[in-house]
Chains A and B, each alone.
Chain A
Amino acid sequence: MKLGIESYCRITNNSVIVNDNSIEIPREQSWLTDIYHAAKISYPKFFKMDNLAKCGFLGSELVLQSIDIDKTTPKENIAVVCCNRSSSLDDDTAYQKTIQNNDDYFPSPAVFVYTLANIVTGEISIRNKTMGESAFYVMEQFNPQKFCSFAESAFLDSTIDACICGWVEFFDGNCDVLFTYITRNPKNNKELNIENLHTLYNL
C-alpha cells in the first residue's frame, strides 16, 4: 500500500519540531502547558486531560496546523490511530494512589477515565470531529515497521482517506511523541515507510 506522510510533529522532553522547523517554547510552567501556550491553542478541555492525552492532543494539534481541515464538521473519512509503550501507566499510577489505603480512599472518576489508553484517541477525535476508526496499540518500543502496519491497517477500511497516526508515550515524567498525518495521495514526496519514520523519530 502506498501512503504518504503529509505532515509530522516530534515532541521530546526538550524540543518540538514541526515539519522540519524547530519551535521555540518559552519556559514558564510545565513543559506540556508551555507547548500549549506557545502553539496559541485555545481549548480549555486541555487542562483536565491527563499527561498522555495532553501529549496526544498537542501532537495532533501541531501536526494538523499546516493541514486544511475543518474541525467543526463531522468527517467519516479520517481515522485516529495511536500507539505507545506504557499504555496509560502514568495515570494508572496516579489513580492507584487514590485507592491504595482504605483509610485514605477517594477514587475519582475524573482520574479513572484516563486509565484507558485509548481515551487519547477519543480526545483527538472529539477535537477534530473525526468519525473514522480509532485504535490504540501497545508495543515494547517505537518500531517503525509496526507503526507503518498500524497506519496501513486503518486504510484497509476503504472509506478512510486520511489518518492522524501517532506514537504517544508519557511515563515517569518523560514525554516521547511522534505524530504524522497520513494520506493516500500525499501532496509531497514523503512516503510512509520504515526509513522515513526512523529518520523522523530520531530528529
Chain B
Amino acid sequence: MIYQLAHNIISPLGFSSEANYLAVKSGKTNICLHENEFGLPEPFMGSVIDNEILDNEFSKINHSNTRYTKFEKMAILSVFYALQNTSIKTNDSSVQFVLSTTKGNVHLLENLNGFESNRIHLWKSAKIIAEFFKNENEPIIISNACISGAAAQITALRTLQSNNIQTVIVVGADMLSKFIVSGFQSFKALAPELCKPYDKNRVGLNLGEAAATIIYGKTNDSLPANSIELVSGAMANDANHISGPSRTGAGLYLAIKKAMQTIQPEQIAFVNAHGTATAYNDDMESLALTSAGLQNRPINSLKAYFGHTLGAAGVLESIISSLAIIDNTALKTNNLQERGTVAPINSLMQNQACTEDYFMKVLSGFGGSNAALLFKKTR
C-alpha cells in the first residue's frame, strides 16, 4: 500500500495545504485581470504568485549563495514545507524525487538573467531542486502536458511497489511567463473573465501558478485513521488529435475503467475532474464520466479557484480533494451557474456532505493523454 505521508500547496491562496483548502471551501479565488504582466501586449485573467511574498518566504529557508528561478523557488519551498513535520532524511538513498512540470524555466529563453544556458533544461532544474535537499538520486522528470501531475503520482505508486525506494517526493510546479500565456492566447483558449467549468456559457480557461508536493511512503501495516491511500492509477491515449480532446471521451473512459477495476461507482464520494472550462474538454469529460457510470456521482472542477496550474494541477487538486474527503465534503465547482455539458453530469454548484471513502481524480491534456487516480480514505 502506498499512502500520503505529507503534502503542501504553494499558490496565491496560501502557502500551506490547509490554507488553500480553507480558502477553497469558503469560495475564494485570486484569479484576476493582469495587465502589462510579463511584457504581454494583451491582458489575461490568471492566478499569479506575488514575487515579493515568495522571495520573502524563500529567503527564510535559503542560506546558500545559489540563485534560484521563481519556478525553482516555488518547488523548493513546497517540498520544504511538506517535509517540515516529518522525520524524512532527504539525503538518504531510499528517497526519490519525481518532478512534474510542463515548461520549467522556459521563461529564460527570453532572457537568461545571469543564469547559465543549461538552466533552461528540465533535468538541470530538477537537479538543482534535488540538490537543495542533498538528495543524490537522479530525479525522475515527467513532462506529460496537463496530466503530468497524475503521471508523476502513478510513477510514485509503481516505484514504491517495485523497488527499494521507501519514500517518493512528488513535486509539481509551473510558473507563468510571456511564453506560456501568449501560447494559450494564440490558441484562443483563455476566458476573458473567471472561468466557468461545466457551465453552459463557458468560453475558456484561466491559467494559474502553483507548486504542490505529496510525499508518498509505503506500509504493510494498517494505516492510521484519515490517511489517504493511492489505490491505483492509469493512463490512456485518445489516439485522435494532438491538441483537441477526443469527441467521444474514449481515452479518458479507458483510463477511468483501468483505475476503477476494484470498486463500483456508488463507492466514490466524488470525482475531481479536469474541468478546464473549454467547450471541448468539459464535453469530452461528461461523455467519459457517463460511459464509466459516474455521471450521477458528485463531480467538481477546481479550476475557478486556482486556474489551470499545468504541471502542478494533478498534484494540487489531489491534495485539495484529499483534505475534502477527510472533511467529508464534496466541493462545489466555483462559478458554475448553469450546467451545460453535452452529457448531463452532476457537477456540484454547492459544497455538500459526503460519506463514501473513495474519490477519483481525472486529467486530460494535449498529446491525447488521459489519466485517472483512485484514492481511499482510511477510517
Which residues of A come within 8 Å of B, CB atoms? 74, 76, 80, 85-87, 89, 92-93, 95-96, 99-100, 102, 105, 107-109, 112-113, 115-123, 125-126, 128-140, 143, 146, 152-153, 156-157, 159
Q: CB-CB < 8 A to B241: which residues of A?
A: 122, 126
Whether B186 contacts A131 by the Cβ 8 Å rule is no
Structural contact, A107 and B367, CB atoms closer than 8 A: no
Q: B110 near A: Cβ within 8 Å?
A: yes
Contact (Cβ within 8 A) A134 B185: no
B39 within 8 A of A: yes
Chain B contact-residue range equals 35 or more
Q: Do B369 and A96 touch across chains, with their CB atoms under 8 A apart?
A: no
Pick from B109, B182, B237: contact of A121, CB under 8 Å: B237
Partner of B369, one of A99, A113, A134: A134
Minimum CB–CB distance for B251 against chain A, Å: 6
Encode B101-121 as 1/0 by CB contact (under 8 A) with A. 011101001100000000011
The answer, yes or no, to whether B123 is at the interface (CB within 8 Å) is: yes
* B138 interface residue (CB < 8 Å to A): yes
Cross-chain contact A105 with B186 (CB below 8 angstroms)? no
Closest Cβ of chain B to A175, distance in Å, is 17
Among residues 117 to 171 in chain B, which have CB atoms less than 8 Å away from a CB atom of chain A? 120-124, 126-127, 138, 140-145, 151, 155, 158, 161-162
Which residues of chain A have C-beta atoms less than 8 A from B179's C-beta?
92, 95-96, 99, 115
| Contact residues of B between 59 and 118, Cβ < 8 Å to A | 102-104, 106, 109-110
Chain B residues with CB under 8 A of A74: 239, 250
Chain B contacts of A89 at CB under 8 A?
120-121
Q: Which one, A108, A122, A123, A152, contacts B186 given CB within 8 A?
A: A108
List the 9 closest A-B pairs by CB distance, nearest first.
A122-B367, A133-B235, A112-B183, A107-B186, A138-B141, A125-B237, A118-B367, A134-B237, A96-B109
Residues of B with C-beta under 8 A to A159: 258
Q: Name the distance in Å between A194's Cβ and chain B's nearest Cβ.
A: 15
- Contact in complex: B142, A136 (CB < 8 Å): yes
Q: Is the CB of B234 within 8 A of A133?
A: yes
| B353 in contact (CB, < 8 A) | no
The CA of A11 and the CA of B83, in the complex, are separated in Å by 44
Contact B235 A135 (CB under 8 A): yes
A138 touches B237 (CB 8 A): no
Report Cα–Cα, A99/B141, bound state, in Å.
Answer: 27
When the two chains form their complex, are residues A119 and B242 in contact, meaning their CB atoms are under 8 A apart? yes
User: A127's closest neighbor in chain B, by CB?
Assistant: B239
Interface 0/1 of B200-242, CB less than 8 Å to A: 0000000000000000000000000000000000111111111
Inter-subunit contact A140/B41 (CB<8 Å): no
B368 contacts which of A93, A125, A138, A156 (Cβ < 8 Å)?
A125
**Inter-chain contacts of A117 with B (CB < 8 A):** 143
Tell whether, in the assembled complex, residue A126 and residue B242 are in contact, meaning their CB atoms are under 8 Å apart: yes
Min CB–CB distance B96 → chain A (angstroms): 11
A102 to B258, CA, bound (A): 47
Chain B residue with Cβ nearest A80: B237
A153 near B158: Cβ-Cβ < 8 Å: yes
Residues of A near B126 (CB, < 8 A) are: 138
Q: Which chain A residues lie closer than 8 Å to B138 at the CB level?
A: 139-140, 143, 146
* Cβ-defined contact, A122 with B242, below 8 A: yes
Q: How far is the CA of A86 from the CA of B141 in the complex (A)?
A: 12
Q: Which of B104, B155, B237 is packed against the most chain A CB atoms within 10 Å? A: B237
The answer to whether B121 and A86 touch across the interface, beta carbons within 8 angstroms, is: yes
Given contacts A121-B237, A135-B235, A143-B138, 17 further A-B contacts (CB under 8 A): A86-B121, A95-B179, A96-B110, A99-B179, A109-B186, A113-B187, A116-B145, A118-B367, A118-B369, A122-B241, A123-B242, A130-B237, A133-B237, A137-B141, A140-B124, A140-B138, A152-B162
Chain B residues with Cβ under 8 A from A108's Cβ?
186
Q: Which residues of B contact A157 (CB under 8 A)?
A: 234-235, 258
Whether the Cβ atoms of A132 and B123 lie closer than 8 Å is no
Which A residues are CB-close (under 8 A) to B39? 102
- List chain A residues, Cβ under 8 A from B378: none
B34 interface residue (CB < 8 Å to A) = no
Find A156's partner among B103, B122, B123, B158 (CB 8 Å cutoff).
Answer: B158
